[in-house]
Chains A and B, each alone.
Chain A
Amino acid sequence: MTPFRFKRPSIIPGFGMTLGFTLAYLALIVLIPLAGLVWRSAALGWEGFFNVAIDPRTVNAMKISFGTSFIAALVNVVFGVIVAWVLVRYRFPGRRIIDAIVDLPFALPTAVAGIALTALYAKNGWIGKWLEPLGIKVAFTPLGIVIALIFIGLPFVVRTVQPVMEEIRKEVEEAAATLGATRFQTITRVLLPGLQPAILTGFALAFARAVGEYGSVIFIAGNLPYVSEIAPLLIVIRLEEFDYAGATAIATIMLSISFLMLLVINLIQAWSRRRYGYGT
């Protein structure tokens, strides 16, 4: 452990001003709205808050929100890494176009994405009409939610993994090969450990983004209570009842769970850095 070094002045000038700016900016953009959120939900009191938290409808919506987000983030990790790999390691015509396509989910208004996906996966849609005879229903089921969340989360994994992958030199792999590693060993013991922190970050970003997603999911989910009702929708429902305290209570619970999960992911990252010695 290095000692806490707040008192020793940094060599780089401008610490005071930039710290002040950072604090003011963070307070304005993040902390004040979040504090307002917690403040509003405090109007319920502990018992009211507790009742919202254990309400089966809330619990179910949380399970659906966090469950589908988790699955979507996992899928994105697997395929996002493959996409990043292709973009980094191979040169082929149209590579830059594919590279640009990856960012599209960032730019598209999510409602548009939701409507487009629903049109595709509904039973009369281009994809849905092939899946329907097989008994696979996507639109208006939890599976639809996962699809929408995969769509919006993909760029997060690709864009965090890609630059790190570019840093890994081919020579490292060649060295592994000359030392007798099989291709599989090269991937699992040389490449993946180096990518792990970036993959975890990508996972965390895609996951966090998915948990908060409302616009696209609402069109494809079907929104049936206990089946395909996500927590953000429950918040909107509470707002429609002019129940601001109830809405902020659900939001506070979501926020706490998200914060805990992000913290855990950060700890895993720190642990893996120490273990593998990367990124220090």
Chain B
Amino acid sequence: MKNSRLSIAFATVLLMATVASQPMSAALADTTLLNVSYDPTRELYKDFNAAFAAKWKADTGETVTIQTSHGGSGKQARAVIDGLDADVVTLALESDISAIVSATKKINPDWRTKYPHNSAPYTSTIVFLVRKGNPKGIKDWGDLIKDGVEVITPNPKTSGGARWNYLAAWAWANGQFGGDEAKIKEYIATLFQHVPVLDTGARGSTTTFAQRELGDVLLAWENEAYLSLDEFGADKFDIVVPPQSILAEPPVAIVDANVDAKGTRKAAEAYLQYLYSEEGQTLAAKHFYRPSEPKLVSADLLKKLPELKLVTIDDPIFGGWAKAQPYHFGDGGTFDQIYKPKQ
């Protein structure tokens, strides 16, 4: 009696397991590309996708549909690692693509050499967004730690953009204190004592600054800063470009294993290559990214992106992402060390 009871129980378990393991059949439509990107590229890729689809139709007669997924750069990389079927990734940080390379081998390790300029079709930098008229007189990184100045930046642990903010501040302090690391850390520690809120992403910080009216200065992507002017009105904020900042190179890559499995390599490669064309570069500049081939873009569009001294991540101060990432943002890295919250 008892045994038959339990065997029915067992059979039910088995039955449910069998049902669950049946493969789901899915029908494939015509060529669809999935571009997994980070947060602030929403507007850029909306325009770029339409332009590429038109061009692809004209060149090959095929219809291509491009979907883009946006989110924090690290989260997006994890989604691809965990199996999101991306054809191309266009992320905020080289280290996020490297993470996909080392975790899954879905991207060939030589991806950085596949496209010009270290596979970064556009670059950006970090600027200050301040209240109209710049009442606190913020001009340079040193002004951020003046008394009474509140700084808004997302958490470098969760936001790719915030890492560039952090490194830009670090680079400035490095020049200021002649490479004395103790003094650099002291500056960064003081800077973060001026930060009342650490949002998890760049858009969150923009909201905190623009809508909650918290803080005197927002450390922002150059393109986010211009977007905020469009969004919330140019009469509310000013953009201050510091004399020195950092060169952020958001890289792009083909997810080799996925495009080979789906047979979309040709379209995916053309898609990324198109970013380097005149149209692609012009669209990037229109959305306030710095085109990596500025000669393809009209001088009019470039006017808004002023010249400034830009430090790169490959500068000896940082020694590339592979070194800078664990050193500054790993568990127990400089960000964890300097963080002493207000008591």
A residues in contact (CB < 8 Å) with B: 7, 9, 15-17, 19-21, 23-25, 27-28, 57, 118-119, 122-125, 139-140, 218-219, 222-227, 233, 236-243, 246
Contacts and interface: CB of A to CB of B under 8 A. Distances in A.
Contacts of B136: none
Please name the 6 residue pairs, one residue from A and one from B, whose CB atoms are nearest each other, closest first.
Answer: A20-B12, A20-B9, A16-B8, A16-B5, A122-B212, A240-B74
Contacts of A218: 200
A206 B197 CA distance: 27
Contact of A226 (B20, B211, B341): B341
A243 B331 contact: yes
Interface of B: 1-2, 4-13, 16-17, 20, 72, 74-75, 78, 81, 99, 103, 155, 157-158, 195-200, 204, 211-214, 329-331, 336, 339, 341-342
A28 B331 contact: no
Contact of A16 (B4, B20, B81, B198): B4
A223 B155 contact: yes
Given A20-B12, A21-B12, A224-B198, A15 B212 contact: no
A142 to B, nearest CB: 12
B8 A20 contact: yes
Given A16-B4, A16-B9, A122-B214, A223 B339 contact: no
Contact of A123 (B8, B213, B341): B213
A219 B158 contact: no
Chain A interface SS verdict (over half)? helix
B11 A20 contact: yes
Nearest to A10: B5
A129 B305 CA distance: 38
Q: Output the residue of B4, B12, B214, B329 with the most chain A CB within 10 A.
A: B12
A25 B212 CA distance: 45
Given A9-B1, A236-B158, A24 B197 contact: no
Contacts of B8: 16-17, 20
Nearest to B99: A242
Nearest to A234: B157
28 contacts: A9-B1, A16-B5, A16-B9, A19-B5, A19-B9, A20-B10, A21-B12, A25-B16, A28-B16, A57-B336, A119-B211, A123-B213, A124-B212, A124-B213, A140-B214, A223-B198, A223-B200, A224-B196, A225-B198, A226-B339, A227-B341, A227-B342, A233-B200, A237-B155, A240-B75, A240-B158, A241-B329, A242-B74
Contacts of B99: 242
A246 B75 contact: no
Q: Output the residue of B10, B13, B214 with the most chain A CB within 10 A.
A: B13
Contact of B5 (A15, A21, A139, A241): A15
Contact of B72 (A219, A222, A240, A241): A240
B43 to A, nearest CB: 21
Contacts of A21: 12, 16
